[in-house]
Structure 1
Amino acid sequence: MGRVNEPPRLPGGSFAAWSRDRLALARRGAEECGDVWQLEPGVYVAATAGVCEAVLRRAQDFPKPSSPLFPPLKRAGGPPMPEERVHARAARMHGLRPQAVAARIGEIAPGTARFVDQWPTGQDVEILPLVRPFLAEIGVHYLFSEDAPVLLPFAWQLFVAREVLVRPSRWMWPRWVPTPTRRFRTRRQVAFTNALRPIIRRRRSSGRLGDDVLGQMLRPSPRYGPLPEEAILDTLPGLTVATFETPSRAAGWILLHLARYPHAADRVAAEAALLPADPATTTSTHLDNLQYTQALVQEVLRLHPPSWLLTRRAPRQTQLADYTIDAGSTVLVCPYTAHRDAREHPEPDRFRPERWLDDSGSTAKPGVFLGFGTGPHGCEGASLAMAMLTLMTAQTARRYHVSEPPGPEPGYQVTTFEGLATAGLHLRATLRG
């Protein structure tokens, strides 16, 4: 007999049912069981807005598992020390904070404009392979400025290694097993590190550290002093891929909504008409004026958060929404269902960007918007991603009408294994008259 205060078990819920249709089971669990429900013994799903927010903020009770896709390479001194991790994160955040992104809008906008320029018109095009290289160029440039052209090919190979590694497999090997895909990842990580190391040494020896994110990491901290070279090298492969991987997934959903909601696209186009003809002269004021465009991006991320499921662990027994969570349990935080909590979002399944322009539409309210996570492990690049996606959306709508290929069936497949994406999505761009 289960404990009185144990989260309810979803009838018919199991890992087998979960693997068949994770989105449908997640929605059914939230609708039938409420705030927290049990998928399997020791595996719980946080399903609604307030509870998801609580788990993500309570990092001591629900820490993020330590399983980076690009773990630190073996080195004589061992893995980074805790103070090195603290210093590295603080330095990265200094370069990724909203004020820093705002100051560099003129560097971000040209990349999104080049994507628009290169979109072939009048034909159905698979959109994710088209948009991803341009977002990669923007992200790598933001991190490394003038050194980006050298590092971009290696960053792209890191992305390829990630795609290979996270591909669904019948076998889940222990992390210490050197499978072919893990060896491939390590080779790509070593190549990226070998390309970045001389750049770090050149910048330090010349004293010209740079104003990009790498430059911020090279600046000595008043508390910790300079970061060791290896600590910088360890942290940057994952961050580099993250600057364009998640925005690429989001871009697919955004462009699909421009196609499906032409009135919304027209409103974005009217707003984007005020952007400067030369993208390099775009400023944070221009970005701030794209209020409806930003609302549209947020609404798409509400309905289709690219990181739709986040994993946390409970190292000790704790309470969550009046339920007992046992030590050793896994808690799956589900922004996908939290964003469909009708208590926070009236008509939650309706696409309505205007909700973010209303007085009640505030992302500061707990649990209302988890598109980039929240708490100590929230997405470091949230401001950069919003700037990239907002400018891409505005410039696309200003130039094109976007449409889906004709046919009764969707021209894409929704994938959920690593993130929520539109695999195989084809769209057509037609010049606005």
Structure 2
Amino acid sequence: MGRTNEPPRVPGGSFAAWSRDRLTLARRGADECGDVWQLEPGVYVAATAGPCEEVLHRAQDFPKASSPLFPPLKRSSGAPTPEARAHAHAARMRGLRPQAVAARIGEIAPAAARFADQWPTGQDVEVLPAVRDALAEIGLRYLFSEDAPTLLPFAAQLFLAREVIERPSRWVWPRWIPTPARRFRTRQQVAFTNALRPIVRRRRSSGQLGDDVLGQMLRPSSRYGLLPEEAILDTLPGITVATFETPSRAAGWILLHLARHPQAAGRVAAEAALLPADPAATTSAHLDRLHYTQALVHEVLRLHPPSWLLTRRTTRQTQLTDYTIDAGSTVLVCPYTAHRDAREHFEPDQFQPERWLDDSGSPVKPGVFLSFGTGPHGCEGAALAMAMLTLLTAQTARCHHLSEPPGPGPSYQLATFGGLTTVGLRLRATLRS
């Protein structure tokens, strides 16, 4: 394949400038250079909707990183085969499909209501830890039902291991070096696996497999049969953390927007007033009627995608738009700037939940939306995350008016490394009459 022109570079752009202010440089790159731009030699940014979607759909040319956050543990018995891992992933996916989530809305809703009911009123509260606890309870109950309380403390340590290993560092150590962060991650992964193993064995020996995600993985399939125990154990730490880690970042932005846009919060509260008095009686039909609430969640996720930057590495020399990308290059897919592409979204920097509704108030899907990714590696938990976030938003607005603490300083610090996060966000709740 012949070499064509390289993508343009932002004047003054470099890794140093990127590290100082990623969002500003990302916006500059999209505004000044267009669809694809170059950060450093061999590092490119897909900045607008078209190339972002192209990279994410062309998984063979732009594959996801091969090293998961929680790699399979090394065991004397050997690792599960690639075939066993693939079938374990497929079995896990069965429990996360939209239809499966819709059937279990009544299990998700009570914890969202408790979060709202238990929010202390009249005082400034740090939001993210409380949100994370509530969503961890929902996520683990969805995965493990009545066994969730046993696994919650181990899941909290898995989350901490993720935080430790993803902290910014001056050095990028080879994967085979057992750094302190990697050793800590392995210890927490072993502890989680050791807590989960007897649950797996008890369910199998009793024949009571359960209707949760773990139960789906324990059922033999007609094509593959019974999954090996180790394949089940290896595939669950990552999804366990994912059920609450990324949604917690999203929830922080959503609650901040409820505080900053009281009129929108009032519309959400009006919808939420029609939910059943007993949260356990909530069904997918109730959820589907929360049109404006879902629109607000989509709009916040558009403006502040929690996973605002996705990394891919080319396997071979290939084309992206009008440019040739060499094998081994890094391509950064940027939903943050793609969602601000004026060709896809009218007044893209404005908070307008109504853009997600048609004239009748029914949901629509305007423009590109990459907060859950797309293509072969799109977020498998998207339906669960949307249900969790929609119910948490509705129940919070039903109970409370939110506001930012008075004072000249910001109510949070913006973090962009590893995700778009409102670190230290503090909000105040007053009862909605």
Confirm or deny a common fold (TM above 0.5): yes
Task: Tell me which amino acid in the other structure corresponds to 2:336.
Answer: Y
User: Matches of residues 48-59 of structure 1 in structure 2 within 5 Å?
Assistant: 48-59=48-59
Match of 1:324 in 2: 324
User: Matches of residues 21-420 of structure 1 in structure 2 within 5 Å?
Assistant: 21-358=21-358, 362-363=364-365, 368-420=368-420
Give the C-alpha shift of residue 3 in structure 1: 5.6
Task: Tell me which amino acid in the other structure corresponds to 1:201.
Answer: R
CA distance in 2, matches of 1:75, 1:374: 34
Q: Which stretch of structure 1 is more off in the superposition, 111-120 or 298-307?
A: 111-120
C-alpha offsets along residues 190-220 of structure 1, whole Å, 9 cap, x if unaligned?
A: 0100010111111111111111000111111
Q: Which stretch of structure 1 is more off in the superposition, 215-224 or 191-200?
A: 215-224
CA distance in 2, matches of 1:401, 1:151: 34
Give the C-alpha shift of residue 149 in structure 1: 1.1
Specify whether residues 283 and 173 from structure 1 end up closer, same or farther in structure 2 by C-alpha distance, changes over 3 A only.
same
Task: Tell me which amino acid in the other structure corresponds to 2:416.
Answer: T
CA distance in 1, matches of 2:5, 2:312: 20
CA distance in 1, matches of 2:221, 2:311: 32
C-alpha offsets along residues 122-153 of structure 1, whole Å, 9 cap, x if unaligned?
A: 00111001111111010000000011111111
Secondary structure at the counterpart of residue 96 of structure 1: coil
Give the C-alpha shift of residue 4 in structure 1: 4.1
Instruction: Confirm or deny: 8 A CA contact 2:335 2:371 kept in the other structure.
Output: yes
CA distance in 2, matches of 1:183, 1:312: 26
Instruction: Confirm or deny: 8 A CA contact 1:405 1:427 kept in the other structure.
Output: yes
Instruction: Confirm or deny: 8 A CA contact 1:355 1:361 kept in the other structure.
Output: no
Secondary structure at the counterpart of residue 270 of structure 1: helix
CA distance in 1, matches of 2:400, 2:89: 39
CA distance in 2, matches of 1:116, 1:383: 21
Task: Tell me which amino acid in the other structure corresponds to 2:414.
Answer: V
Instruction: Confirm or deny: 8 A CA contact 2:4 2:324 kept in the other structure.
Output: no
Give the C-alpha shift of residue 222 in structure 1: 1.7
C-alpha offsets along residues 52-85 of structure 1, whole Å, 9 cap, x if unaligned?
A: 0110011001000112111110023543322223
Instruction: Confirm or deny: 8 A CA contact 1:84 1:227 kept in the other structure.
Output: yes
Give the C-alpha shift of residue 280 in structure 1: 0.6
Give me the identity figure in percent: 83
5+ residue gaps, structure 1: none
TM-score of the superposition, structure 1-length normalised? 0.97
CA distance in 2, matches of 1:27, 1:396: 33
CA distance in 1, matches of 2:363, 2:420: 24
Task: Tell me which amino acid in the other structure corresponds to 2:201.
Answer: R
TM-score of the superposition, structure 2-length normalised? 0.97
C-alpha offsets along residues 372-395 of structure 1, whole Å, 9 cap, x if unaligned?
A: 001111111100000000000000
Secondary structure at the counterpart of residue 95 of structure 2: helix
CA distance in 2, matches of 1:57, 1:381: 18
Once superposed, what is the RMSD of the aligned Cα atoms? 1.5
Give the C-alpha shift of residue 221 in structure 1: 1.9
Instruction: Confirm or deny: 8 A CA contact 1:83 1:224 kept in the other structure.
Output: no
CA distance in 2, matches of 1:327, 1:171: 24
Instruction: Confirm or deny: 8 A CA contact 2:291 2:363 kept in the other structure.
Output: no
Instruction: Confirm or deny: 8 A CA contact 2:295 2:363 kept in the other structure.
Output: no
Equivalenced residue count is: 430
Instruction: Confirm or deny: 8 A CA contact 1:339 1:369 kept in the other structure.
Output: yes
CA distance in 2, matches of 1:291, 1:249: 22
